Amino acid sequence: MRFSIDFSKALLVLLRHSFPIWGGISILITLGGFLLAGLEDLSIGAGLYFAWVTGTTVGYGDLTPTSGASRLVAIIIALLGILFTGIVVALALEAAKLSIRKNGSLDELKGTVEDRLDRRVVDRRRAPEE
């Protein structure tokens, strides 16, 4: 539990300090959504939906750009989304490293996880069959 709290605190601090980077990318993805809405004659909501679904690399495929210009914007949004995701993942990993250092070594954490897994395996073997 302590690890989770420390991880959350570290992640929030890292997100706050790196806001200009990921915040700027978020603004660019949102602007791309506005641009796509205009190019594809979509509502603003649909343009933002497409931009963020593409930017988060989910890509449902329910909306697709049809013109060359809107396809180029979609590619740029996808590349920005990959960059955005990479930054958030890197920050989460750094927060995890900081939390591990604060709460003990990685070997201790692995030992705790292995102990809990071993207990679950033993508990399942002892459970009466239905």
Sign of the C-alpha dihedral computed for residues 94, 98, 100 and 105 taken in this order: positive
The whole-angstrom separation of Cα 84 and Cα 32 is 14
Q: Are 109 and 3 in contact (CB under 8 A)?
A: yes
Provide the pLDDT confidence category of residue 92 given band limits of 50, 70 and 90. Answer: very high
Residue with tokens 């931009």: 51
Domains parsed from the chain with CATH numbers: 2-104 (1.10.287.70)
Q: Taking phi first (over 0 means left), then psi (-120 to 50 degrees means alpha), and beta for anything else, what does residue 4 get?
A: alpha
pLDDT computed for residue 122 by the predictor:
64
In tens, the pLDDT along 67-77 reads 999 999 999 99
Question: Is the predicted pLDDT of residue 109 greater than 70, yes or no?
Answer: no
Question: Is the predicted pLDDT of residue 111 greater than 80, yes or no?
Answer: no
Question: Is the predicted pLDDT of residue 34 greater than 60, yes or no?
Answer: yes
In tens, the pLDDT along 40-62 reads 999 999 999 999 999 998 989 89
**Mean pLDDT calculated for residue range 91-106:** 86
More confident residue, 35 or 126: 35
Question: Is the predicted pLDDT of residue 64 greater than 80, yes or no?
Answer: yes
pLDDT computed for residue 127 by the predictor:
58
- pTM (whole model) above 0.95: no
